[in-house]
Structure 1
């Protein structure tokens, strides 16, 4: 299976040149990329969402674009369009910023639903349709979108179909006291921070993704995953449970976790670690649950406590 830990260590070392802490968030984002998915970064302003996304993008040999979402951003501002050339009498394609490999879409919930939905085809199919023409996107095509969950003025909640296109939702949280002290020391000095170096080529990424898809899933672990998904559809806290697409996403992230740990088989812990980031934005709570102050994360954590964990596993099916 190669040396996945060494690969991840190189990425983490380079990201650490600009980002203090956030080990779990970095691991989740790298796992999502290995699982061929996209990431929604959600947290309060000032927690380093944009800095983290840009630092991670720089560790890959790939083209990077950033889009700052605003209410007046139009779909053609993102996708581009056809431009008439008087000299030839033909139309040529003017490619928008979506034609990249790493796309940072800042504050996605500030764009109108029409513009946000323009991402849908690109995220799902890795292609863009413009005026009857279909243009494929380069490999890799990876979207990291950020949003601030607190503001209500000038924002548009993402529809369920758009949320479902994100493999994981990552919440950074506040740094620890020690990490925040490191941030203060780093930026108080006024010294320029090192720029992360590109350590992953598209070829290495493609081969790593292929290896992730080959990570084995024992029948007992598969049953555990299905029990969790089924429980979201049966537990009274949920109005809508996880879909089959959500089950596939949970499997993909678990395989990536296993690969990052140097294993060629999925364990129950891989499944458990993926439940909240993969399912929390895909399930809906009942009004009664919300009235009691229950969140999707809390409900899923409680669900994990009641779903039996397999104890005797055939780890090499």
Structure 2
């Protein structure tokens, strides 16, 4: 089968198309003939060697396609072996494409419990783009932060997959959403998805400007970049800071006294469990929420170009690979 193979960690150009053997059948596992896969920043870290993937390796966590045994149209939940405790993943938990062959291929093998029907009305690109960002965002906003209708949410960033998913999910349930960005164009695009407004984080004092939009501060801040002090500056007393990334900073000094006098909650989160994904699907069924935003599609063989585009940071929404 055709696949994108990484034989050496490093730049995007190390992702090259090759012909490799297809997945081997095994009880309890399902072969999916993929129609599309989606890129995540996590894939970039895999490519760079941050997760110690075995080489040679086929990356990719997200995908959608057809079950080889039944012909059903499905998507893949890339959260493998989460375990029974919903508060924290089990020791053996991993993300598809970390240590096992992933979705940058014509076919992939996954545990049967990680295969679910493709949502009605979704095309292949939208279905492939939903799982990782949908699951990650649902867990962050609803399983961890307990966001409710009528509350306010600040999303740091406006253009990435998690950010656009957060805007659509939160606005879809009736929360007030504000975003940050370095681009007025992305703020306008976020408004079109349901955000009330946005602020430029390149401007001094942007947390104050963001708080003014919602008259006093946010109930929840979703921080995928690691700028905790700015995030706390935007919260109202008693607010919840949800952290799921460190793309801009990996160290975050805090004013400890201010933190505890403010009665803030600091919540770490990752991609969630299959049960979280069931909650996501129920939420999508209950509310009129649009499918994931697709920024750009590349042919499978152009995965390297897709990674380069993703790393430039200029897009709005998800980058996908077309396998057809």
Structure of higher CA gyration radius: 1
Q: Same fold (TM over 0.5)?
A: no
Relative to its length, the structure with more strand (as a share) is: 2
Does 1 or 2 have the higher relative contact order (CA < 8 Å, sep 6+)? Answer: 1
Structure 2 length normalisation: TM-score?
Answer: 0.27
